[in-house]
Amino acid sequence: MKTKKKIVVHSNHCKALTGFGKHKANLLKYLYKTGKYEIIEIANARKFSDPRLETLPWKCYGGLPDDDDEMHKASQKPETARDAGYGSLVIDKIIEIEKPDIYLGIEDIWAFDGYHGKPWWNQVNCVVHTTLDSLPILRDAIDAAPKIQNYLVWASFAERELKKLGHNHVKTIHGTLDADNFRKLDEEYRKSIRTHFGLQDSFVVGFVFRNQLRKSVPNLLDGFKLFVDSNPKANAKLLLHTNWGEGWDIPRLIEEKKIPNELVVTTYVCHKCHNYYVAPFSFHKCNCSVCGGVATVETVNIKEGVDEGQLNEIYNLMDVYCHAFTSGGQEIPIQEAKLCELITLATNYSCGEDAVKEGSGGIPLEWAEYREPGTQFIKASTSAISICDKIKEVHIMEDKARERMGAKARQYVIDNYSIEVVGKKFEELFDSFEEVNWDKLVTKCVKKRNPDFVPDMALGDKEFVLSLYHNVLKYEDMDDKDGGFKYWMNELRVGKSRGEIVLLFKDIAHKENGDLFKQSLEEIVDQDRDNKRIAFIAEGVPEEVMLTTGIIKGIKEKYPDHDIYYFTHKTFFPILDEMDEIHKLCETHEEMKNAFYFEGVGEKKGYFDIAFTPQHEAQHLVNFSHHGKD
């Protein structure tokens, strides 16, 4: 009898410096501290057996396969490469190993393409927590809605728009923030760090962002220039905490708009000693004056940046926070700034609506609509005049009024985005679910694939592709709205033959059968026999398997008291089934790549005395240990 519900949480690695990674880390810590759940993490962009994942307090699998050949094969096509990056090649294997009660996926909506037709989908309690950022709502998000029992979005505009389309089960749960990491500093200390960076007499407008084109840097510079020109006594400075080496060419924009260079400052950090400072931009890389590191100082980026304590200081250098953008899923820096009791200006579109609503401590920025080429998504071009006017509104605001609004901003984030509030919502949701009886569901959920299915080539393209999903892969709920279906339909349109697609589906079926229904060595070996055991592993083509028959006879002559277990593809069994020297024919799977899997390592004894893997390249894999035997 289980004492804890088992939860699989699937997203960026919890140590990744991304919005998904930070939210996942906060949520996992909260759930772990309750002591109520058995937690399994899936970390995208890490290999399945990455040893670095063993240091966490919960079990963690990487979202990429260990086998480089498998990943290389997937990477040959953009669609399969993207899906592989989101864990598509290992998800079924993990579900079968762990048999969870709950699956929580935290990613872009297209990360779950192909999941909705899987036999285990919605047989376990499935939850998707996804970011949507533009109108009209992405077609994939609409098509997926009926297939996701627990559909959570990060921003309320997405819930509102999906409900307009009849999907009333959609709910908003924001991404989490750790309110302890960001706060308003003591005024004396705040003044000291502002003085340290030469900002003591300045009115500082701040923006913390990744330098992507959807961040409206030109608009912000235009609005800032208008404010500077019309309020010269304000001694305004613009602090852009971002990487100046990607995205917008900020120096060129500053020059083009004739903004004095000293009015725009940025954050530099040393990758060696982690010291940071704030100054006008003058270079992309330089030496560190603190530790002497050579070319170790540059503007911040997602790999090398400041820590949370330093970022909190940077927010405290600001007098007002301004976030101009075209669209976004949540825009976590807005909430971080609010926790530091800054009044926040934000574009009143997409997730920005939540940041500027009544009682949020935010002020809306006006915008004009434009359409993104190709997708035709509505995007916001933030008004430079509105930016100027709202900066001025905060600048002339009395100190007490500014403090009251800042305090309100912090409380708004604590009430709606804090770990405790958001974590509690997930806890209550998970506690409302029934445990899954996998003994009853296993035959229903994990159906054996049928690579021998012969499709009807007279079917139309739509019916043909669906027949492969339904009959080869046993994805019985797959329909024509799923991303996987759309991919194969496009492959037909661009000229791939039906025969090629059938072979690819058969390959997937063989692989998934190997992952989901493979026997362990303990199940394979005949443990009631006293004979010693030899494993012989051969893959490749039939001709190569045929050539090994002579080797097998030689091995049996040398080791007559050993049972020989021959591991190969099942399709090659007829070549070998008349050989008396072979005790048992067995199917291969991915782990059978080196001798240690069979023989054991060090004091850990394996199930075989000797393993021969002659067809695997020795420079990549250790194949010839054999416990010292020839």
Question: Which residues, at least 6 apart from 457, have a Cβ–Cβ distance to it below 8 Å?
Answer: 464, 498
Q: What is the pLDDT of residues 404-424, one digit of tens each?
A: 999 999 999 999 999 999 999
Residue 432 half-sphere exposure toward CB, CA atoms < 13 A: 9
* pLDDT for residue 517 is more than 80: no
What is residue 445's predicted lDDT score, i.e. its pLDDT?
56
What is residue 74's predicted lDDT score, i.e. its pLDDT?
82
DSSP-derived letter for residue 198 is: T
Q: What is the pLDDT of residues 417-460, one digit of tens each?
A: 999 999 999 999 999 999 998 887 755 555 788 988 999 999 99
DSSP-derived letter for residue 173 is: -
User: Could you give the CA distance from residue 329 to residue 332 in angstroms, rounded to a whole number?
Assistant: 9
Regarding predicted confidence, which is higher, 197 or 606?
A: 197
Cβ atoms of 44 and 63 within 8 Å: the answer is yes
User: Could you give the CA distance from residue 178 to residue 166 in angstroms, rounded to a whole number?
Assistant: 34
* pLDDT for residue 102 is more than 60: yes
Q: What is the mean pLDDT of residues 575-595?
A: 85
Q: Of 440-449, 503-512, 556-565, which has the strongest mean pLDDT? A: 556-565
What is residue 620's predicted lDDT score, i.e. its pLDDT?
40
What is residue 510's predicted lDDT score, i.e. its pLDDT?
78
What is residue 516's predicted lDDT score, i.e. its pLDDT?
65
In 133-150, which positions are buried (b, 16+ CB within 10 angstroms) versus exposed (e)? bbbebbebbbbbbebbeb
Q: Which two tokens stand for residue 446?
A: 């994990």
The CATH number of 521-628 is: 3.40.50
Residue-averaged pLDDT of the chain? 91
Q: What is the pLDDT of residues 488-503, one digit of tens each?
A: 898 899 899 999 999 9
What is residue 301's predicted lDDT score, i.e. its pLDDT?
86
Q: Are 5-176+423-440 and 187-410 the same fold in CATH?
A: yes
Q: What is the pLDDT of residues 368-398, one digit of tens each?
A: 999 999 899 999 999 999 999 999 999 999 9
What is residue 2's predicted lDDT score, i.e. its pLDDT?
66
Cβ atoms of 44 and 15 within 8 Å: the answer is no
What is residue 561's predicted lDDT score, i.e. its pLDDT?
93
What is residue 626's predicted lDDT score, i.e. its pLDDT?
52
* pLDDT for residue 29 is more than 80: yes
User: Could you give the CA distance from residue 497 to residue 489 in angstroms, rounded to a whole number?
Assistant: 11
Percent of the chain past pLDDT 90, that is, above it, reads 73
Q: Give the SS3 label for residue 545.
A: helix
Q: What is the pLDDT of residues 82-93, one digit of tens each?
A: 899 999 999 999
* pLDDT for residue 628 is more than 60: no
User: Phi and psi at residue 256, in whole multiples of 5°?
Assistant: -60, -40
Q: Which two tokens stand for residue 462?
A: 């739509």
Residues facing 299 on adjacent strands: 268
User: Phi and psi at residue 572, in whole multiples of 5°?
Assistant: -95, -5
Confidence of residue 619 (pLDDT cuts 50, 70, 90): very low
Q: Of 49-53, 215-219, 291-295, 482-486, which has the strongest mean pLDDT? A: 215-219
Confidence of residue 144 (pLDDT cuts 50, 70, 90): very high
What is residue 397's predicted lDDT score, i.e. its pLDDT?
97
Regarding predicted confidence, which is higher, 480 or 400?
A: 400
The matching CATH number, chosen from 3.40.50.11930, 3.20.20.70, 3.40.190.290, 3.40.50.720, for 5-176+423-440 is 3.40.50.11930
Q: What is the mean pLDDT of residues 512-531?
A: 79
Question: Following DSSP, what letter does each residue of 475-524 receive, concatenated?
Answer: -TT--TTSHHHHHHHHHHHTT--HHHHHHHHHHHHHHHHHHHHPPPHHHH
- Helices 498-517 and 461-471: crossing angle in degrees, nearest 10, is 20
DSSP-derived letter for residue 58 is: S
Q: Which amino acid is at 160?
A: R
Q: What is the mean pLDDT of residues 17-31?
A: 93
Residues facing 203 on adjacent strands: 236
Q: Which residue's entry shows tokens 């240091």?
A: 55
Q: Which two tokens stand for residue 213?
A: 């084109």
CA-based angle 4:9:15, to the nearest 5? 120
Residues facing 12 on adjacent strands: 44
Max distance between CA atoms of the chain, in angstroms, equals: 97
Q: What is the mean pLDDT of residues 119-138?
A: 94
Q: What is the mean pLDDT of residues 333-354?
A: 98
What is residue 72's predicted lDDT score, i.e. its pLDDT?
83
In 418-446, which positions are buried (b, 16+ CB within 10 angstroms) versus exposed (e)? bbebbbeebbebbeebeebebeeeeeebb
User: At the topology level of CATH, where does 187-410 sit?
Assistant: Rossmann fold (3.40.50)
Of 392, 95, 86, nearest to 229 by C-alpha is 392
Q: Of 221-225, 304-308, 534-538, which has the strongest mean pLDDT? A: 221-225
The full set of domain ranges for the chain reads 5-176+423-440, 187-410, 448-517, 521-628
Q: Which residue's entry shows tokens 């692989």?
A: 511
* pLDDT for residue 139 is more than 70: yes
What is residue 590's predicted lDDT score, i.e. its pLDDT?
66
Q: Give the SS3 label for residue 224.
A: helix
Q: What is the mean pLDDT of residues 152-174?
A: 97
What is residue 134's predicted lDDT score, i.e. its pLDDT?
95
What is residue 518's predicted lDDT score, i.e. its pLDDT?
67
What is residue 379's predicted lDDT score, i.e. its pLDDT?
98
Q: Which amino acid is at 438?
A: W
* pLDDT for residue 622 is more than 60: no
